[in-house]
Amino acid sequence: MTKIYSETFVTTATKIANQDCVFSLNERTLSPVEHLNKLIKKLPNVGKKVTDEYIKKIDPNIDVGCPKSVFINFESCINIIKDYISSNESSISEIDRISFSTLISWRYTQGTYHFSDETFAKLSNTPFDGMVTIERIQNIPEWSVYIKTPHRNDMDGFFASIDYQKQNNKTYLKLLLNTPFGLTPIPIQLGDWTIEEGLKLSFSKESSTNRYSSNQPHFDRVCRELLPLAKFCTSLVINLCTQESIVKAQENEATQPIRPQLKKTKKGFKLFPSNQPKNWFVEKSNSNKVVQIKDYQGGKHKSPKCFTRRGFYRKQWVGARGSIERKQEIRWISPTIVNGVAA
């Protein structure tokens, strides 16, 4: 990642790791829309440049090397900011530069995702320890999503999007934590490695040179302190992207999240922002729901006591063997009660 990205991450992450900021529900935390409006106020009329970059991205004759799940790549966002600043003689903060790609892509859908209390509690107790590959999150329903995290004092929720850098052909899961003292970026490089490795790779000496490179022990400690939070957020994102997730606007409504399409106007094609946030409620399919068992068997050797097997993720093949439709899907296996007797 860039030097500016690395330094801002370490500075804000250190505040969390050292608990320099005392979190409280009474402190003012901006809503996701307020963060978006603050950025747009600093960069008015930037929508035209964003639309132009998006048209390039979807043009089959122009190879921008950008995955479908990415709105526009990292370099395009940086160039938009540079061009705007140079032509308008204005300046924006480091965190604005970092959050630009996530917030600007969220602007067109403004989807806010709510997990049920039951599902949220289960995922909170099931930290994700698998590989953070692009396949696990490529089904993210929108270019950028905002996931609410109820019952937490350290943040109201977080943005999640996929960032792509064409220059080094690397893909990142970018988390923007909405904390009482502002947005805190946590990028995780995607690949066949763990979250901890992806976190360190995002700011390795090979990917950037920054003033913290000489203090590697300090940086390693910050990453270590943030690891549980990164695992928690990543688990929610991956769960949202699994095939059995059911996303509804409200009860009995068939509406599903979609990515907006370009619309033709007298002045050419245009991508219109969403007028207001859209709330989505995440459920799981009935086959994966856990039913509370009231009675259970005793502790004999052949019939051990009832216990709950923790939830986990697994890859599952679907489709006929040998067919072109055959593919792997990421499935969430909910906690299961073993040796229980129906109530």
Phi, psi for 100 (deg, rounded to 5)? -55, -50
Give me the pLDDT at residue 308, please: 58
DSSP 8-state class, residue 125: T
Phi, psi for 247 (deg, rounded to 5)? -110, 125
- Of 35, 51, 53, 76, nearest to 163 by C-alpha is 76
Per-residue pLDDT of the chain (343 residues; tens, 9 = 90+): 444 444 445 555 555 444 443 333 345 789 999 999 999 888 888 888 898 888 888 877 776 667 888 898 888 888 888 887 777 666 777 788 888 989 999 999 999 999 888 878 877 777 777 788 888 888 899 999 999 998 888 889 999 999 988 888 889 999 999 988 888 888 899 998 988 889 888 866 444 434 444 566 766 777 777 888 888 999 899 888 876 566 777 655 557 788 888 888 888 888 889 988 999 988 765 334 433 333 334 445 555 566 556 666 666 677 777 776 676 666 666 666 565 554 4
Give the torsion through C-alpha atoms of 88, 91, 94, 98, to 10 deg: -20
Give me the pLDDT at residue 161, please: 94
**CA contacts within 13 A on the Cβ side of 50:** 22
Give me the pLDDT at residue 159, please: 97
- Tell me the C-alpha distance between 219 and 223, whole Å: 6
Give me the pLDDT at residue 132, please: 85
- How far is CA 256 from each of CA 106, 158, 267, 280, rounded to the nearest angstrom? 16, 21, 30, 9
Task: Kindly provide the b/e burial profile for residues 51-72, where b requires at least 16 CB atoms within 10 angstroms of the residue's own CB.
Answer: bbbbbbbeeeeeebebeebbbb
Contact assessment for residue 23 and residue 50, using Cβ atoms and an 8 Å cutoff: no
